[in-house]
Amino acid sequence: MTSQNGFPAGKNVPSHIGHSAKCLILILVLLAAAAPSFAQVLTSAAEPQAANVSPNTGAPVTITLSDAIQRARLNDPRYRSAITDLGLAREDRVQARSGLLPNVNYNTSFIYTQGTGAPAIAASRYIANNGVHEYISQANVHQSLSLTNFADYRRSSAALAQARAKAETATRGLVVTVTQSYYGLVVAQRKYATAQRASAEAARFLDISQKLENGGEVAHADVIRARIQAQQQQRDLQEAQLDMERSRLDLSVLLFPDFNQDFTVVDDLQTPEPLPTFAEVETAGKKNNPELRAALAGFEVSNLEVTAAWGGLLPVLSVDYFYGIDSNKFATSTDGVRNLGYSTVATLQIPIFSWGSDRSKLKQAELRRDQAHVELTHAQRQLLSHLRQFYNEAETARSEMESLASSAEIAAESLRLTTLRYQAGESTVLEVVDAQNTLTQARNAYDDGQSRFRIAVANLQTLTGNF
């Protein structure tokens, strides 16, 4: 019996409906169980974007110089390459150390050789083994001793020290790069603000000259000159905005893996750090300079390469100890005879003739050693030169800051007085325009001077470390 809509009628209907309801309930339970993990995936996917904004506000992230350096360490490929080289050098030393220690292996093999065909004769037709069937299952302890192995381990240790020094050099170089880009953006923002003030001042002066012309106090030529100045300041404002955006893009490439531009930087150029004496800087440079340490380690590496090359001309001793079974049957005993046993093989390999390749390797190592010595002496001379050069740069920039600040204040006062004198008819339009340009140049020079000092200090610290 069926219902009017074609479905079975009677007591069978509730059973189908109950089965469908159970399936629906099961699907809902599974979705509820998967909801936390799904939410977690969404949260983790949103984390990179959320890291670039302030929590709870969505405002641009504020970055200090130390924050910028930490972010750049995660994204700069040259710095990451130096860190990778350091990790590779560390693993090279582990591998070289393993060459000085015994190696343990376990070998299991079965060797079959064609027999004579006679059932009563167990000997093989082709004499390659101890029988027709030979089973080998034994542990092998191998030790090789040579001058090359010891030299390679010491060379890997020196190479690790060299890689560590180069990583430190890359770290300090990254600080200089980030400092330049960071304060480049700070100064660009300042110059943009200066250009805005200069443009507003030029527009105000144009309005003054027009009013004075309407009153018959100045000639129309003054209005033309003021209009030219206003147009020039407007173009300078556009160029300053372009430079600011370019500096922001350069810094964004260093800081963010997703090329985020929604960030602000902290302007801390108002608080210059003190500068130590040159004697303190020179002492720190000779003690903490990573480039000099890298050159010293490179020279030691080349010396040990010469030692390793000499090892190729000397005998090599190797010892093998075997324990296990080497029998015609795969068993620990046969007919009451114990198959387990051991053997020891000592080999002394004496090089005699290699068509001059060993001598050639020695010559190559000596050439590299001579080159490393030249690079070491050059690094020593360069350190002394750069110490004096970078210190003089920082000292000069530090001493000029007060003068630059004073010049900016005087230029602002000069523009104010010149504008008042122009309104009183005591100065010309050219004097006002010159005062406007002088004020802009003085403010930009002061901003450049503060940034110059910070960059000079960062360059000096590449040789000395933090002070």
Task: Provide the residue type at 227 as one letter.
Answer: R
Task: Report pLDDT for 8.
Answer: 40
In this structure, the number of other CB atoms found within 10 A of the CB of residue 414 comes to 17
High-pLDDT (> 90) share of the chain, %: 70
Task: Report pLDDT for 128.
Answer: 63
Task: Report pLDDT for 58.
Answer: 62
| Better-scored residue on pLDDT, 31 or 217 | 217
Which stretch of DSSP H or E encloses residue 340? strand 340-349
Task: Report pLDDT for 125.
Answer: 61
Task: Report pLDDT for 335.
Answer: 82
**Predicted confidence (pLDDT) at residue 39 exceeds the cutoff of 60:** no
In this structure, the number of other CB atoms found within 10 A of the CB of residue 201 comes to 20
**Predicted confidence (pLDDT) at residue 427 exceeds the cutoff of 80:** yes
Mean per-residue pLDDT, 82-105: 94
Residue 131 burial (10 A CB sphere; 0-12, 13-18, 19+): middle
Cβ atoms of 404 and 442 within 8 Å: the answer is yes
Task: Report pLDDT for 256.
Answer: 93
Which stretch of DSSP H or E encloses residue 263? strand 263-265
Mean per-residue pLDDT, 420-443: 94
SS3 320: strand
| Better-scored residue on pLDDT, 342 or 132 | 342
| Better-scored residue on pLDDT, 119 or 97 | 97
Task: For 361-392, write each residue's pLDDT tens digit.
Answer: 999 999 999 999 999 999 999 999 999 999 99
Task: Report pLDDT for 117.
Answer: 64
- pLDDT band at residue 29 under the 50/70/90 scheme: very low
**Predicted confidence (pLDDT) at residue 129 exceeds the cutoff of 70:** no
Q: 124 forms bridges with which residues in the sheet?
A: 115
**Predicted confidence (pLDDT) at residue 418 exceeds the cutoff of 90:** yes
Task: Report pLDDT for 274.
Answer: 84
Mean per-residue pLDDT, 139-152: 92
**Predicted confidence (pLDDT) at residue 159 exceeds the cutoff of 70:** yes
Mean per-residue pLDDT, 201-226: 93
Task: For 342-362, write each residue's pLDDT tens digit.
Answer: 999 999 999 999 899 999 999
**Predicted confidence (pLDDT) at residue 138 exceeds the cutoff of 70:** yes
Task: For 397-413, write each residue's pLDDT tens digit.
Answer: 999 998 999 999 999 99
Task: Specify the long-range contacts of residues 401-408, CB closer than 8 Å, at least 24 apart.
Answer: 401/272, 401/446, 401/449, 401/450, 401/453, 404/442, 404/445, 404/446, 404/449, 405/446, 407/442, 407/445, 407/446, 408/439, 408/442, 408/443, 408/445, 408/446
- pLDDT band at residue 175 under the 50/70/90 scheme: very high
**Predicted confidence (pLDDT) at residue 4 exceeds the cutoff of 50:** no
pTM score, whole prediction: 0.75
Mean per-residue pLDDT, 128-132: 69
**Predicted confidence (pLDDT) at residue 183 exceeds the cutoff of 90:** yes
d(CA 97, CA 74): 31
Task: Report pLDDT for 176.
Answer: 95
Task: Report pLDDT for 35.
Answer: 41
pLDDT, the chain, mean: 85
